[in-house]
Structure 1
């Protein structure tokens, strides 16, 4: 069994949970509030960021991209048609490009600012950076969400899934980040029907069910969050 140090609304943690769900891997979850800077967690990942995967007999595996590559190297071959990184080199490059797009660019420009301002800061002390959410930060992030949603829509109109004919790490990365901000109601689904239809397909997969069942006290989920036919 794997152990994952995560936060329920960390988009990178959500990505890894979706990947493990698609691979049918049993998982033990440990919630980590990274802003608390616990020494035991910093010993696992000096960068102090979630997620961190613990696999028996291996050093701690930090970061969404590294974890995805580790899981493909160790479990990909036996996953057969459920493998999330294709065999062909050109296809692998495209999956990795899009996985980085969402886990880095989308995270920096949209999902991390919104999750930090609207969720994390509620639980952080003033010394840890907590306080009222910044309207300017949220406004800029919401503009960026529209830009990324349009790109997802373009990909969804030209391919069966974002990186090609079947679901890959790219789809799970995009869906993980969208899910975190969809909980908050910050995804303008009405602006792109192709992106909305693609997300509905991914959200309907069994791997998504644990994420959709998690709620944050005091912050109700948006109307679209758990509705598979939104």
Structure 2
């Protein structure tokens, strides 16, 4: 199995976490999507990461589609560790919260911060590269506060974000937050419940490869790989 990804693509991180929870180690192929590599576009004309390629060549594009595909093809073998519950009402909540982080958190927090602080360092100026826009960064830093409060509110009545078991909702939230945490832009003092939840999930074995990531010229924030903050 191959996973076309970028280390700071939060959606790619979600898939890596899911595969880790399933005990699957894919071959990782890094893609800089702004380069529009023809071979990558042949796999998925949308040209976005992640893209999963099974060992028989079957292509599965996009984090949400990959998550559903992995549940349909590997979920039954996980028994009590299944990331998408069997109960239809519980599945709705997992999907709702996964979409919250994959769409809303992404648009308001993780995408602008990663774009301004990471991608623009490597993109040519004609494609949008250059110095970061501090107004965009300030807006994203402000937005993350209510997302942390929402996480804390959910956890007042639940063991994990969508219920009593770890699910895709937790992996989606943690994947996006991990990108922001690397950059040092998560105000963990804002919500103790969210901080405790994140410490739990980043202590899981599936998270270790993400915590080992480093970027040349931009080391992670001091708390990034610290399991106790």
**Helix, strand or coil at the partner of 1:61:** strand
The CA deviation at 1:56 is: 2.7
Is the counterpart of residue 158 in structure 1 residue 157 in structure 2? yes
Q: 2:101 maps to what in 1?
A: 102
| 1:84–1:167 Cα contact (<8 Å) kept | yes
| 1:36–1:128 Cα contact (<8 Å) kept | no
Q: 1:144 maps to what in 2?
A: 143
Q: What root-mean-square deviation, in Å, do the aligned CA atoms of Structure 1 and Structure 2 show?
A: 0.8
Q: 2:68 maps to what in 1?
A: 69
Is the counterpart of residue 41 in structure 1 residue 33 in structure 2? no
Q: 1:201 maps to what in 2?
A: 200
Q: Distance in 1 between matches of 2:83 and 2:152?
A: 21
**Helix, strand or coil at the partner of 2:162:** coil
Q: 1:86 maps to what in 2?
A: 85
Gaps of 5+ in 1: none
Task: Deviation per CA, 1:149-185: give whole Å up to 9, x if none.
Answer: 1111111222000000010000000000000010000
TM-score, with length taken from structure 2: 0.98
Q: Distance in 1 between matches of 2:21 and 2:170?
A: 12
Q: 2:6 maps to what in 1?
A: 7
Give the count of matched residue pairs: 229
Most deviating of 164-173 and 139-148? 139-148
TM-score, with length taken from structure 1: 0.98
The CA deviation at 1:58 is: 5.1
Task: Deviation per CA, 1:60-99: give whole Å up to 9, x if none.
Answer: 1111000000000000001111110011110000000001
Is the counterpart of residue 227 in structure 1 residue 211 in structure 2? no
| 2:3–2:51 Cα contact (<8 Å) kept | yes
**Helix, strand or coil at the partner of 1:127:** helix
Gaps of 5+ in 2: none
Task: Deviation per CA, 1:131-153: give whole Å up to 9, x if none.
Answer: 00001111111111111111111
